[in-house]
Structure 1
Amino acid sequence: MSECGETARTRVGKYEFGRVIGQGSFAKVRLARNTQTGEHFAIKVLNKERILKDKMVEQIKREICTMRLVRHPNIVQLGEVMASKTKIYFVLEYVTGGELFNKIAQQRKLKEDDARKYFQQLINAVDYCHSRGVYHRDLKPENLLLDSKGNLKISDFGLSALSQQVKEDGLLHTTCGTPNYVAPEVIIDKGYDGAKADLWSCGVILFVLMAGYLPFDEPNIMALYKKIYKADFTCPNWFSPGARKLILSILEPNPNNRITIPEILENSWFKKGYVPVKFQEEKDTNLDDIDAVFCDSVDHLVAGKKELKGTKPSLMNAFDLISLSKGLNLSGLFERKQSVKQEVHFTSKYPATEIITKMEESAKPLGFNVKRRDYKMRLQGSETGRKGHLSIATEVFEVSPSLFVVEMKKAGGDTLEYNKFYKNFSTALKDIVWTSEVDQPEG
């Protein structure tokens, strides 16, 4: 690669880093390959300086501790934790099926049997978390992933709480979570039971799976909180009586009257086709690496090779192409019809410089500020949307000297606003997009 002037891959310990597959305020998630076994992982990369500056050390330690405690088939697994002088790395199970949110957005709403299957897996995993003294506190479809077999996996324990955080009154007191999914007792900020608050979020998720929209959704935050506090919502007429009754018993604003997980497990609607997951529970949990990630001793630090910057786009090799495709079928990589998703790709036979310039010129009239560095661009919406400013990360990769793949992903803001932007943006880029003969419309 260096002979051609492309960017060299980053290596940290035994892991070879690939493309960025997720990005948040405090971390990036990168696809990586274990060079010893060839296995793929998702590695969450956190900036140590930022963590120390924002006084997040205890939160990061808690997240590591939490993921060490909850080893369940329906929860994304933490393999190991590493640290360099400047970064912390969470080596996570690589889940290939995408977010459950995207499945809902594509299908509008799920069939009741499909919704029930996901809800059963969700309750099974949440019940296990609670048995280990762990409360997630940010359950929502965006934090529920699907594996290659369509099984649900809970992710992102960054806002989780442990039973040790419970105050003398037996309650948690930190207000957190996503407003549309948060329980009424969390809003009033007088203390809440973490298990009951998680269960409320599960009820909202079940409603969204079956309805295709939120039970509580108002542009004004105070109006939204009033609806949540009163449980002011209506089930659509296609809900079966059993599903309707269960949802109403979960979305009960008084936590003392809310149904419990043991009661849900005995509910007739819930039990239909229910097969509890079987797995070997680990008795001993190793927590040695929790303090080690903030230790400056050379013995605890992992060596990393910095990425070399070149003047050409990064090379997208077979490793990256396979990670983008479903299995080994590359026909799904170059999609002619883009469905609702947070990450899209298209191909072009135009020179990389022309592609990136065309993208920059097309984004500005749509109201986006552009930050460009070589063949990477960050597009920042100038207007504040439903979830803040829409932010999009793009990069041009070289597949061969005459073929390039452009990756676009939502880095911040609302997913539906992102998809509206993408429709306008893709129209402006249609002249540079290449479609293979296989994907050409008939006629």
Structure 2
Amino acid sequence: MDDKGTVLMQKYELGRLLGQGTFAKVYYARNIKTTQSVAIKVIDKEKVLKVGLMDQIKREISVMRLVRHPNIVQLYEVMASKTKIYFVIEYVKGGELFNKVAKGRLKEDVARRYFQQLISAVDFCHSRGVYHRDLKPENLLLDENGNLKVSDFGLSALAESKRQDGLLHTTCGTPAYVAPEVISRKGYDGAKADIWSCGVILFVLLAGYLPFHDLNLMEMYRKIGRGEYKCPNWFPSEARKLLSKILDPVASTRISIAKIKENSWFRKGFEDKSTNIEAETREVAPGDVNEALGSSDRNIVERKESVKPTNLNAFDIISLSAGFDLSGLFEEQQDHRREARFTSMLSATTIISNLEDLAKRLRFKVMKKHGGLIKMEGSKEGRKGVLAIDAEIFEITSQCHLVEIKKSNGDTLEYQKLWKEHMRPALKDIIWTWQGDQLLQQQQQQQP
């Protein structure tokens, strides 16, 4: 399956690996019959069933069937085998918009063009009752012509996900881009939350760094909640005014997409392609996924061990606040630290399952586990004694967990190398704050 040249379903020839995460790998591929280039997301069915994410996979399929737009990555087909699920999607070869921004701020006209395409795509999603909920430069791709394509609908919500109060209640997204009402967990309007994220993206495009930033996560949340940011002096005055209306911490008075589209700064050179889109929705074989799931698969989820981690009260959180300096997890110069903490929006059971999978890959033994504590030990030829690693999970809220990983025995240099080369990359899909930290680091140097 991992070999270049493998023919999938007698239809697609797989090429190079484009990227991978805990549950999936993405390959470049070619349609043998038409020679069309595509990307194929290969999802490990056993892993997603084991951690109860199959409903999320099905929701992603449903969402991508609804949103066919020039500025949204297209889903062509869904296929499934006994062990894998395959998303055949549009191949966008220009890479992430993040890579452009990481080099510094963009020119006003370029930033405006990307923002126009983003708003056009998001407006179309909302018209179909779809809310993305994780908009950020890492989820915005560029095609060969420099056009923006919104991707990664794994955290998106459909209109029917709303409760009786008409609001969404699941806390998700990336902290630096998430709206204040999402953080408050009191229910939120998905459209208004997406608009806020678009405003953060616009700021990043024009500035080259994030509007809300602090090495302490709780302090960053306070800044977001107050809408506390400062535009650099090179921002055009019209853009400043627009941003102040988008980054309004009060959702009820935040500007709508319709009003954004009427804004004079936004309208310069704007061409809305949404009006030319046919309303047809194409089937992408969702039945294939359902057929491939047997009743025994459902039992896998039901039999999963329930884990109750230690609950953190307000005083615990305050005492750990220094530990919310999450950028230290991923900064090269901080790799000498013996412990790391991160937040995750996944269940304790899912986090532990990922840690057990990681231990298995590292050929470590899980020596002891109780509550939210998991101990991993590994020794082999060439190691200076037994390397032991502890991971403990604390419940902050029912939907948010703090994970602390630290070396409890063994050679520090060996642990540093293991953490940097294997553990950190393997855990990226369960870390809520994983994305966006690079910009946090860069802005410390770039901000005037």
Could you state the TM-score of these two structures normalised by the residue count of structure 2? 0.66
Structure 1 match to 2:408: none
Alpha-carbon shift at residue 60 of structure 1 (Å): 0.8
1:284 matched to 2:333? The reply is: no
User: Do 2:65 and 2:284's aligned partners in 1 also have CA atoms closer than 8 Å?
Assistant: no
- In 2, the alpha carbon distance for the partners of 1:37 and 1:366 equals 49
- In 2, the alpha carbon distance for the partners of 1:58 and 1:139 equals 21
User: Do 2:22 and 2:426's aligned partners in 1 also have CA atoms closer than 8 Å?
Assistant: no
Residues 276-425 of structure 1: pairs in structure 2 closer than 5 A = 276-277=272-273, 280-287=276-283, 289-296=285-292, 367-369=416-418, 379-380=421-422, 389-390=424-425, 416=438
User: Do 1:390 and 1:413's aligned partners in 2 also have CA atoms closer than 8 Å?
Assistant: no
Alpha-carbon shift at residue 275 of structure 1 (Å): 1.3
Alpha-carbon shift at residue 156 of structure 1 (Å): 0.3
- In 1, the alpha carbon distance for the partners of 2:123 and 2:293 equals 38
1:268 matched to 2:288? The reply is: no
Structure 1 match to 2:63: 66
1:190 matched to 2:186? The reply is: yes
- In 1, the alpha carbon distance for the partners of 2:46 and 2:125 equals 31
1:99 matched to 2:141? The reply is: no
Alpha-carbon shift at residue 204 of structure 1 (Å): 0.0
Give CA-to-partner distance per residue, 1:238-285, whole Å, 9 cap, x none: 001100000010000000110000100110110111111257534332
Alpha-carbon shift at residue 216 of structure 1 (Å): 0.8
Residues 144-293 of structure 1: pairs in structure 2 closer than 5 A = 144-277=140-273, 280-287=276-283, 289-293=285-289
Unaligned runs of 5+ in 1: 1-5, 299-363, 371-377, 382-388, 394-411, 421-443
- Between the two proteins, the alignment pairs up a number of residues equal to 316
Structure 1 match to 2:406: none
Structure 2 match to 1:41: 38
1:26 matched to 2:68? The reply is: no
Alpha-carbon shift at residue 291 of structure 1 (Å): 3.4
Give CA-to-partner distance per residue, 1:192-236, whole Å, 9 cap, x none: 000000000000000000000000111221111111000111000
- In 1, the alpha carbon distance for the partners of 2:92 and 2:82 equals 28
CA RMSD of aligned residues (A): 2.6
Unaligned runs of 5+ in 2: 295-412, 429-433, 443-448
- In 2, the alpha carbon distance for the partners of 1:270 and 1:183 equals 21
SS at match of 1:206: helix
Alpha-carbon shift at residue 50 of structure 1 (Å): 1.1
The percentage of aligned residue pairs carrying the same residue is 59
Question: In the alignment, which of 48, 52, 72 is matched to residue 51 of structure 1?
Answer: 48
Equivalent AA in structure 2 for residue 209 of structure 1: L
- In 2, the alpha carbon distance for the partners of 1:115 and 1:195 equals 22
Distance 1:126 1:272, change over 3 A: same
User: Do 2:78 and 2:288's aligned partners in 1 also have CA atoms closer than 8 Å?
Assistant: no
SS at match of 2:196: helix
Alpha-carbon shift at residue 35 of structure 1 (Å): 1.1
SS at match of 1:153: strand
1:119 matched to 2:161? The reply is: no
User: Do 1:390 and 1:414's aligned partners in 2 also have CA atoms closer than 8 Å?
Assistant: no
- In 1, the alpha carbon distance for the partners of 2:435 and 2:197 equals 21
Equivalent AA in structure 1 for residue 78 of structure 2: V
Structure 2 match to 1:143: 139
Distance 1:392 1:195, change over 3 A: closer
Alpha-carbon shift at residue 286 of structure 1 (Å): 4.0
- In 2, the alpha carbon distance for the partners of 1:297 and 1:160 equals 23
Equivalent AA in structure 1 for residue 250 of structure 2: N
Range with bigger deviation, 274-283 or 58-67: 274-283
Structure 2 match to 1:301: none
User: Do 1:391 and 1:413's aligned partners in 2 also have CA atoms closer than 8 Å?
Assistant: no
User: Do 1:140 and 1:205's aligned partners in 2 also have CA atoms closer than 8 Å?
Assistant: yes
Residues 75-94 of structure 1: pairs in structure 2 closer than 5 A = 75-94=72-91
Distance 1:392 1:296, change over 3 A: closer
- In 1, the alpha carbon distance for the partners of 2:18 and 2:177 equals 25
Alpha-carbon shift at residue 112 of structure 1 (Å): 0.8
User: Do 1:28 and 1:44's aligned partners in 2 also have CA atoms closer than 8 Å?
Assistant: yes
Equivalent AA in structure 1 for residue 52 of structure 2: K
Equivalent AA in structure 1 for residue 21 of structure 2: G
SS at match of 1:90: strand
Question: In the alignment, which of 12, 37, 47 is matched to residue 15 of structure 1?
Answer: 12
Give CA-to-partner distance per residue, 1:91-122, whole Å, 9 cap, x none: 0100011110001112x100111100000000
Equivalent AA in structure 2 for residue 274 of structure 1: F
Equivalent AA in structure 2 for residue 72 of structure 1: H
User: Do 2:4 and 2:16's aligned partners in 1 also have CA atoms closer than 8 Å?
Assistant: no
Question: In the alignment, which of 126, 131, 150 is matched to residue 127 of structure 2?
Answer: 131
Alpha-carbon shift at residue 380 of structure 1 (Å): 2.3
User: Do 2:4 and 2:15's aligned partners in 1 also have CA atoms closer than 8 Å?
Assistant: no
Distance 1:274 1:10, change over 3 A: same
Structure 2 match to 1:315: none
- In 1, the alpha carbon distance for the partners of 2:292 and 2:148 equals 37
User: Do 2:76 and 2:284's aligned partners in 1 also have CA atoms closer than 8 Å?
Assistant: no
Range with bigger deviation, 50-59 or 280-289: 280-289
Equivalent AA in structure 2 for residue 86 of structure 1: T
